[in-house]
Amino acid sequence: MSTNTISQVAKFGGTSVGDARCIQRVLGIVNEAPGVRLVVLSASGDTTDHLVDLYDAALTGAAVKAARAYERIYEHHTKAAQDLGLSLKDFAELNDRLAELLSVSSQIRRKHPDPALRDRLLGFGEALSCFLFSRFAKQKGRHTAWLDARELLPTDSRYGQARPDREGLKARVEAKLRPLIAAGVLVVTQGFVGADSEGRPTTLGRGGSDFSASLYAEALGVDEVHIWTDVPGVYTTDPREVDSVLPIPHLSYAEAEALAAAGGKVIHPHTVFPARAQGIPIWVGSSLIPGAPGTWIRAAGPKADAQVRALASQDYPVLWIGEWPEAKATECAEKLIARLEEKGGEVLYRSERRVVLAFAERLKFNRDESRWLRACGEWREHLNVRAISLIGQHLDANAGLQARLPELLDGFGVLASVHDEPALAWRVFVPRDQALGLLRHLHRELLENQGLTAHKPAETAACSA
């Protein structure tokens, strides 16, 4: 392979660039992989959370809280720059960038939500990471350029959840990125961030850097995309919730997508489709344990077995479950569902007799609406619900599992259990206080005792620990 050819895109998450030691490690990983010519970075550590706090505090006029959030970001990045041994000139530039961040935050007007301004602010985290990494890499003798994602990734203007223009990205990649790579430059860019047609910064949704990496991989037509995170691959469930998780060496695109959509935050749910469009395998592994085998996500073989491969869980503050006899699947229910969607409801499941909707907060109805509501089948509102999803290809063909489910769920106060079609997940809704018990029970019964060795993640701590 020529040194000026790209074969992999590598994305590093928040923990992977969490401090100077981590950033040094990232450069080591990149230098070891000559095919990696594009590095996509997340914000360092908890920076995006601090930026959200800063925005929220400014919006409510909580100046002290806002100042504290800014201070955390300031201290975190100046310490990293110091520990990386950056030059005085770099320090001056870092200071300018941090001053710009403060100036943007000062434009937030009390009680005037401004999604465009919020995205502008939230994007600073990734920019600061790119700044630190590119300067450090240069200092270490690597020919590096930071190409701003706002100039690369065109999106629509849905601030906070922007959708990429994949064709537009391709054109910009050819015009701006490919020539740099061909000239032997290691290019660094921000994950999570793009810009709309007016040039205003946008973000792809929390955790969206994985999605960015996959989009760049698709546009470049590389052989692999590498997602470096704080766990050595995808496990059978979140290792923060279950001790006896098992590593999963291979997952299909569909399984990975279903796992992420069901709340398994190891990758962003939209990471899969751009890579899948080009048949690009996605590898997930830990930058803290670079030698570990990790997980490969690629197209399923022809003989995928109908087994539960993983569990995921997701919280819903307010859940509505509507049920009606088939004969009564009437206009009334249709209209009601439409009304509930207008009130912000997200339909999680829908069949002829049942609908499950999630809301961010409790709904208010006037007396007329309440009467109308009672006339349309049976509607129940539940607060603090968690959905546990069983993920696996062709679960609907697993008669044994279906027969066993009632016994497995017995005693857990299940509010509804649904089979998502054509998704691969069985979803079980339970009160949040029962969810962890159920997750552990299902993990024990369905995933442990399969002849695999239980694997407690060896290291999830920050690099400098």
User: Which residues lie near ligand ASP (CB under 6 A)?
Assistant: 13-14, 42-43, 48, 125, 191-192, 206-209
Closest CB to ligand ASP among 225 and 246? 225
Q: Does 263 bind Mg ion (CB under 5 A)?
A: no
Helix H segments across 33-107? Answer: 47-60, 63-84, 88-105
Q: Which does 287 bind (CB under 5 to 8 A by kind): ligand ADP, Mg ion, ligand ASP, none?
A: none
Least gap, CB of 72 to ligand ADP (angstroms) = 17
Q: Does 237 bind ligand ADP (CB under 6 A)?
A: yes
Closest CA to 49 of 11, 101, 14: 14
The answer for residues whose C-beta is within 8 angstroms of residue 273's C-beta and 6 or more apart is 214, 257
Q: Does 285 bind ligand ADP (CB under 6 A)?
A: no
Closest CB to ligand ASP among 45 and 392? 45
* Position with the least CB separation from Mg ion: 207
Which string of x and - marks every residue 12-31 that binds Mg ion (by CB under 5 A)?
Answer: -x------------------
Q: Does 207 bind Mg ion (CB under 5 A)?
A: yes
**Amino acid sitting at position 249:** P
What pairing do the DSSP bridges indicate for beta strands 346-350 and 193-195? unpaired
Helix (H, G, I), strand (E, B) or coil at 279: coil
Instruction: Report the sign of the C-alpha dihedral through residues 182, 25, 237, 268, in that order.
Output: negative
Least gap, CB of 327 to ligand ADP (angstroms) = 42
Which string of x and - marks every residue 149-188 that binds Mg ion (by CB under 5 A)?
Answer: ----------------------------------------
Closest CB to ligand ASP among 211 and 296? 211
Count of other CB atoms within 10 angstroms of residue 145: 16
Least gap, CB of 170 to ligand ADP (angstroms) = 25
Q: Taking CB under 6 A as the criterion, which residues in 198-217 touch ligand ADP?
A: 207
Q: Taking CB under 6 A as the criterion, which residues in 9-28 touch ligand ADP?
A: 13-16
Residue with tokens 């997200």: 346
Cα dihedral 66, 70, 72, 73, rounded to 10, equals 140
Distance, CA of 116 to CA of 194 (rounded, Å): 12
- E strand segments, 373-464: 378-391, 416-419, 425-431
Task: Tell me how far apart the terminal alpha carbons of the chain are, to the nearest angstrom.
Answer: 37
Least gap, CB of 365 to ligand ADP (angstroms) = 36
Q: Does 239 bind ligand ADP (CB under 6 A)?
A: yes
Residues lying near ligand ADP in the complex (CB under 6 A) are found at 13-16, 42, 207, 229-231, 234-235, 237-240, 264-266, 310
